């Protein structure tokens, strides 16, 4: 087993996991003495780790990371049958004065693997990592934890470049066939990859690593996972930071169109209030509505330069694909600043900018589609009611097209069972910091407010100028570090977030004015 701090220990030393902290005693022999003789009658006795960690393989490209695997039963209730390995990565604390409670990272999606986010996470949590380990556990069904890998839409022809295989009606029948084939080929029972089971896995890893209590950070779907862990293992949580709330009540994909329409309205308002943007695109909202109305009559074909190859490519544009192409850049304000230009160009018959933005956005993170379906088809879609469908039908971007696609996909995917009362509000008195991006098109601030009432020690911060995910914005890393260090939000000075603004819009292909002037 490789120790945490290789600078002061060699390979024969025992691991430096959470330990008794008696100031006058250093090293392993002193620790043993403390445990046997009890440095103080009130000192907590640490739990020694059972999970062996070794330096991560060079191919993983996880600098200074320690890796290991912890086995659990796939069927946790039966405790028999197939066992699956959970991939664990630890970025050890940088200091020699290590806090006993690490930060566990809960990835989003659903379907992202936590271990694939180490480079993204270590930057905003650098302050936290000075004294605390950062722990990444690939949720069952992702990454190195028996991944439910389904290749959906991989064989789509070039003319479907703008079509989202998970939502577009043109690809629906073919994608359902692919989902059925994936289920048949899996070495897994997809019914057993729900959030409650995964959070019990997480607690097994916590215990195996020897941590008594932990701090949580979850982003997007990871906030749901964090809330479920908080409910199932409340005594193990010291603090929780939940960024971009996606509680069970969000019923994916029911509100995706509504929340995207809200973010789009904010963009149109901000463009109209910006002199350069308004001058360049004075009728932006009307141009978009004309596009949607035209495509309501049926898909159309256009020719554009393929964003990867540059070759002329005929593409199909449907109403759903246009809505999806407009929605995707709203996640990131840095991409959304180009959206007015892309909409204006599409209205003139040039879908090149929209397609290029879509390709760039799709490459941001890997998603294990099978795990995504196991969660959504068990926890969200079954709770969508007839009244919900009527609500969606009135939504201006997607109507019921998203619901229709997800219901078709879930019809081909086995559905798991959930604990009684799973959709009830989660109550807790643990310190919780709720973060929302004002411009978020999928988990806007209202979802944090929806859970705040039952979290009696929660603080909600809305960050202006930010879309989906606030962890790297402005002073937010400092606020998170202070919250974890203090174990409370009572002393946080949140005024600094007000200085975070939306980036300036592109008035032309050269960028924002006043220097954005088209070349002659």
Residue 319 lies in a domain: yes
CA nearest neighbour of 379 among 257, 199, 250, 468:
250
Question: In the prediction, which pLDDT does 7 show?
Answer: 27
Instruction: Indicate whether 29 belongs to any domain.
Output: yes
pLDDT > 90 fraction of the chain, expressed in percent and rounded: 79
Residue in 364, 386, 384, 385 with CA at minimum distance from that of residue 376: 384
| Structural domains counted in the chain | 2
Domain boundary pick from 29, 48, 67: 48
516 with 275: CB under 8 angstroms? Answer: no
At 355 the pLDDT is: 86
The whole-model pTM stands at 0.89
For 371-386, the pLDDT digits (tens) are 999 999 999 999 999 9
Pairing mode of beta strands 66-73, 83-91:
antiparallel
Per-residue pLDDT at 288 exceeds 80:
yes
pLDDT at position 21 is: 34
Q: Using CA atoms, how far apart are residues 161 and 493, in angstroms rounded to an integer?
A: 46
**Last residue in a domain, options 362, 381, 402:** 362
Of 3, 17, 190, 184, nearest in space to 99 by CA: 17
Residue pLDDT, tens place only, 300-314: 999 888 877 888 889
Residue 242's beta-bridge partner residues?
218, 434
Contact 159/314 with Cβ under 8 angstroms?
Answer: yes
Q: List, in sequence order, every residue forming a beta bridge with 428; answer none if it has no partner.
A: 455
pLDDT of 17 strictly over 50: no
Half-sphere exposure of 270 (CA within 13 A, CB side): 22
In a domain, residue 5? The reply is yes
Whether 455 is in a domain gets the answer no
Q: Is 416 inside a domain boundary?
A: no
Say if CB 127 and CB 283 are below 8 A apart: no
In a domain, 427, yes or no: no
Question: From CA 438, how far away is CA 502, in angstroms rounded?
Answer: 10
Residue at 445 is within a domain: no
Question: From the CB of residue 94, how many other CB atoms can be counted at a distance below 10 Å?
Answer: 15
The string of DSSP letters for 67-111 reads EEEEEEESSTTTT-S-EEEEEEEEE--SSSS--SS-EEEE--TTT
Report yes or no on 98 lying in a domain: no
For 457-496, what is each residue's pLDDT tens digit?
Answer: 999 999 999 999 999 999 999 999 999 999 999 999 999 9
Domain boundary residue, one of 362, 380, 407: 362
Range of the domain at 350: 256-362
pLDDT score of 504: 95
pLDDT in tens, 139-169: 999 999 999 999 887 777 878 888 888 899 9
């Amino acid at each position: 087993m490789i120790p945490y701090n290789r600078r002061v220990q060699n390979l024969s030393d025992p691991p430096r996991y959470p330990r008794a902290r008696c100031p006058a005693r250093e090293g392993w022999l002193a620790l043993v003495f403390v445990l046997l003789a009890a440095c103080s009658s009130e000192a907590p006795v640490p739990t020694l780790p059972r999970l062996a960690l070794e330096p991560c393989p060079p191919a993983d490209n996880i600098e200074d990371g320690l890796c290991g695997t912890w086995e659990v039963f796939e069927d946790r209730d039966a405790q028999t049958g197939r066992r699956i390995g959970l991939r664990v990565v630890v970025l050890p604390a940088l200091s020699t004065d290590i806090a006993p409670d690490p930060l566990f990272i809960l990835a989003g999606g659903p379907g992202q693997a936590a271990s694939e986010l180490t480079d993204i996470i270590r930057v905003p949590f650098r302050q936290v990592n000075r004294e605390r380990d950062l722990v990444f556990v690939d949720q069952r069904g992702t990454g190195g934890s028996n991944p439910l890998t389904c290749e959906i839409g991989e064989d789509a022809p070039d003319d479907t470049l703008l079509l989202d295989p998970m939502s577009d009606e043109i690809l629906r029948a073919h994608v359902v066939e692919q989902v059925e084939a994936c289920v048949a080929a899996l070495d897994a029972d997809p019914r057993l990859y729900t959030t409650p089971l995964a959070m019990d896995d997480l607690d097994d890893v916590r215990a195996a690593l020897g941590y008594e209590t932990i701090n949580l950070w979850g982003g997007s779907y990871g906030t749901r996972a964090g809330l479920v862990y908080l409910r199932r293992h409340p005594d193990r949580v010291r603090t929780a930071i939940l960024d971009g709330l996606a509680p069970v009540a969000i019923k994916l994909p029911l509100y995706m169109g509504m929340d995207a329409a809200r973010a789009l309205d904010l963009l149109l308002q901000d463009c109209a209030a910006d002199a350069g943007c308004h001058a360049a695109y004075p009728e932006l909202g009307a141009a978009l509505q004309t596009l949607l109305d035209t495509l309501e009559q049926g898909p159309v074909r256009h020719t554009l330069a393929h964003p990867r190859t540059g070759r002329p490519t005929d593409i199909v544009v449907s109403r759903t694909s246009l809505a999806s192409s407009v929605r995707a850049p709203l996640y990131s304000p840095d991409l959304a600043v180009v959206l007015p230009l892309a909409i204006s160009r599409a209205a003139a018959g040039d879908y090149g900018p929209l397609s290029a933005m879509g390709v760039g956005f799709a490459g941001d993170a890997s998603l294990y589609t099978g795990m995504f379906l196991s969660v959504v088809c068990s926890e969200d879609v079954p709770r969508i009611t007839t009244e919900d469908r009527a609500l969606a039908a009135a939504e201006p971007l997607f109507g019921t097209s998203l619901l229709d696609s997800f219901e078709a996909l879930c019809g081909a995917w086995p559905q798991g069972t959930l604990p009684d009362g799973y959709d009830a509000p989660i109550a807790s008195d643990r310190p919780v910091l709720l973060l929302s991006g004002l411009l978020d098109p999928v988990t806007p601030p209202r979802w944090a407010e929806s859970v705040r009432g039952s979290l009696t020690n929660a603080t909600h911060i809305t960050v202006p100028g930010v879309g989906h995910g606030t962890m790297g914005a402005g002073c937010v890393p400092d606020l998170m570090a202070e919250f974890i260090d203090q174990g409370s939000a009572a002393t946080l000075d949140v005024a600094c977030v007000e200085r975070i603004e939306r980036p300036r819009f592109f008035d032309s292909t050269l960028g924002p004015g006043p220097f954005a002037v088209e070349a002659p």
